[in-house]
Amino acid sequence: MTSETCDVCVIGSGAGGSVIACRAAQAGRSVVVIERGPYLRAAQMNDSEIEMIPRLYKDGGLHMNSGLDMFILQGTCVGGSTTLSNMVMMRAPEAVLPAWRSFGAELDPAAMARSYDTIERELGTAESDPTTHSGSTRRFVAGARSLGLSPRRMRKALGACRGCGNCNIGCAFDTKRSALATYVPWAERHGARILADTEVDRIEIRRGRAAAVHVRTGHGGERSRIVAKQFVVAGGAINSSALLLRSGIRKNVGSRVSFNAGSMMVAEFDEPLDGYDADQMTWFLPGDGFIIEPTHNPLMSAALTTPGWLDEHERLMRRQRHLAYAGSLISTGPTGRVVQSPFWGHEETRFRASPDDVAALRRGLKVISEVFFAAGARRLILPTHRFRTIESASAIDTIDEHVVSTRHFSFGSAHPQGGNAMSSDASVGVVGSDFAVHGLENLFVCDASIFPSSVTVNPISTVMAIADYAAPRILARA
């Protein structure tokens, strides 16, 4: 087995890992970044969903919870889920950090605000460009305003976006300011080395320290060992928890998993809106325990999220130019777990949405319905497995009858959080407020897995800000 050494080994190249790697390399440390997925540059990307999704998503986009009633989308590629995201840059609401502090996560709010500022400046974060807003989103915004509601433009990091609508399968134009286009190449310019297509089997622990990581690279699974002074785990909520479990680190690991999750409502209009021919996400509407995000997907993904079977589904897909979509996004409680499956030999995510979660989602779907009817929709299609429609605003309350259990409607998340919660109290947390795993002085975790609870909004900005905040504190421990 071959070995190599470095100062800092970062496991994962997404929102957290890329920032840590960049800061460490800029500080003159030798850095190795390990990424399970491929390193695809913009020139290797295209608008073919059937080609790109299997290459860029974990399990080809088919990853599910153990109950098979929630899909969980995660990136498996250099840049992680940022490569597949819409780069929505929402700061955590003011109530989040105090709630985390009560759990024992002692993050300095002023320093966190400076880190948010730094990340937003480096990525050129700005309000969404009106020239890339879709016809369907414009109708949603008009409908919301007619009801006296106050939708807001998203702040995003898309660079000179062309509004092609393919953010979720990469960016062939190389304008999106994902980690793939920013912190990863910035780290490389300062000497960082990226090991793509490389799986970490386990972290080797000796006498209270992480000594090395054991990896397999390429299709042949060539084995090697990487020795470092410091290790930073940043594989995301599910993957980071699974790695710690495989490495024999078990106390509290995999607990307190939460999600920003939701369901999509579809509206049919008489006139064409061509919602797919634009930036997918540009506005949001906050609500009582939910956030509404009008959106639209490219055709293959739209087919997967559009309700109906056989003839009903075919008819709706042929009416794609006339359809508008909006998601009711909720923050679930931290009741999920990541465990090592006793049957399959890999991790599984155990989570069941609570009645309160479903009630919040229903409230969001009702507001979406009111807005779409106010915008002139001819009918709405519920996200239920059995094809159900709402033909008028007077029937909106029927949502209460049909959206009751996630076994009966489409429900999913691209934002898993928790699993390795931060708390200075080792009896409840996995990492301390110094980001070190309790009892292991040179092993750190820095990604969404350290969130004690859901951040309630799209989490990329918060993960990147926390990584910027964490980097000097981690490097000072060397």
Provide mean pLDDT across the span 444-450: 98
Window from 77-81, 278-282, 342-346, 404-408 with minimum mean pLDDT: 342-346
pLDDT in tens, 211-220: 999 999 988 8
CB atoms closer than 10 angstroms to residue 141: 21
Provide mean pLDDT across the span 21-35: 98
The distance from CA 92 to its chain's CA centroid, rounded to whole angstroms, is 14
Q: Which residues, including other chains, have CB under 8 Å from residue 5's CB and lie 6 or more apart?
A: 30, 226, 227, 228
- Say what the pLDDT of residue 341 is: 82
Closest CA to 291 of 260, 323, 258: 260
- Say what the pLDDT of residue 219 is: 84
pLDDT in tens, 218-253: 888 899 999 999 999 999 999 999 999 999 999 999
Provide mean pLDDT across the span 166-177: 96
Closest CA to 119 of 475, 471, 474: 471
Residues in the chain: 478
Alpha-carbon distance values, 421 to 57, 206, 258, 280 (Å): 25, 23, 11, 32
pLDDT for 14 beyond 90: yes
- Say what the pLDDT of residue 454 is: 96
Provide mean pLDDT across the span 167-195: 97
Query: What is the rounded distance in angstroms from the CA atom of residue 121 to the CA atom of residue 101?
Result: 27
pLDDT for 177 beyond 80: yes
Q: Which CATH class is domain 2-126+166-256+417-475?
A: alpha beta
CB atoms closer than 10 angstroms to residue 42: 14
pLDDT for 342 beyond 90: no
pLDDT for 2 beyond 90: no
Contact between residue 393 and residue 146 where contact means Cβ atoms under 8 Å apart: no
Residues forming beta bridges with residue 233, ordered by sequence position: 11, 445
Contact between residue 105 and residue 112 where contact means Cβ atoms under 8 Å apart: no
- Say what the pLDDT of residue 16 is: 98
- Say what the pLDDT of residue 251 is: 97
Sign of the Cα torsion 444, 449, 187, 216 reads positive
* In 78-211, alpha helices (H): 96-103, 109-123, 135-146, 183-189
**Burial letters 179-210, b for 16+ CB under 10 A, else e:** bbbbbbbbbbebebebbbebebebbbbeeeeb
Residue 77 tokens read as: 């590629």
- Does CATH place domain 128-156+258-413 in 3.30.410.40? yes
- Say what the pLDDT of residue 54 is: 95
Provide mean pLDDT across the span 171-190: 97
Residues forming beta bridges with residue 200, ordered by sequence position: 215
pTM: 0.96
Give strand ranges (E) for 364-454.
Answer: 379-381, 389-390, 412-419, 443-445
pLDDT for 1 beyond 80: no
Window from 22-26, 121-125, 305-309, 465-469 with minimum mean pLDDT: 305-309
Alpha-carbon distance values, 26 to 22, 187, 475 (Å): 6, 7, 11
The CA angle 327-330-335, to the nearest 5 degrees, is 140
Return the domain boundaries, the chain: 2-126+166-256+417-475, 128-156+258-413
Give the pLDDT band of residue 316 (cuts 50, 70, 90): very high
pLDDT for 150 beyond 80: yes
Residue 434 tokens read as: 């110094």
pLDDT for 151 beyond 90: yes
Secondary structure (DSSP) of 275-335 = TTSS-S--EEEE-SS-EEEEE---HHHHHHHS---HHHHHHHHHTGGGEEEEEEEEEPPS-
Residue 57 DSSP class = B
pLDDT for 23 beyond 80: yes
Q: CATH topology of 2-126+166-256+417-475 equal to that of 128-156+258-413?
A: no
Query: What is the rounded distance in angstroms from the CA atom of residue 469 to the CA atom of residue 478?
Result: 16
Q: Which residues, including other chains, have CB under 8 Å from residue 436's CB and lie 6 or more apart?
A: 442, 443, 444, 477
Residues forming beta bridges with residue 214, ordered by sequence position: 202, 225
Residue 58 tokens read as: 């974990």
Provide mean pLDDT across the span 266-287: 95
155 φ, ψ to 5°?
Answer: -95, 130
Burial class (CB in 10 A: 0-12, 13-18, 19+), 129: middle
Average pLDDT over the chain reads: 96
Query: What is the rounded distance in angstroms from the CA atom of residue 110 to the CA atom of residue 114?
Result: 6
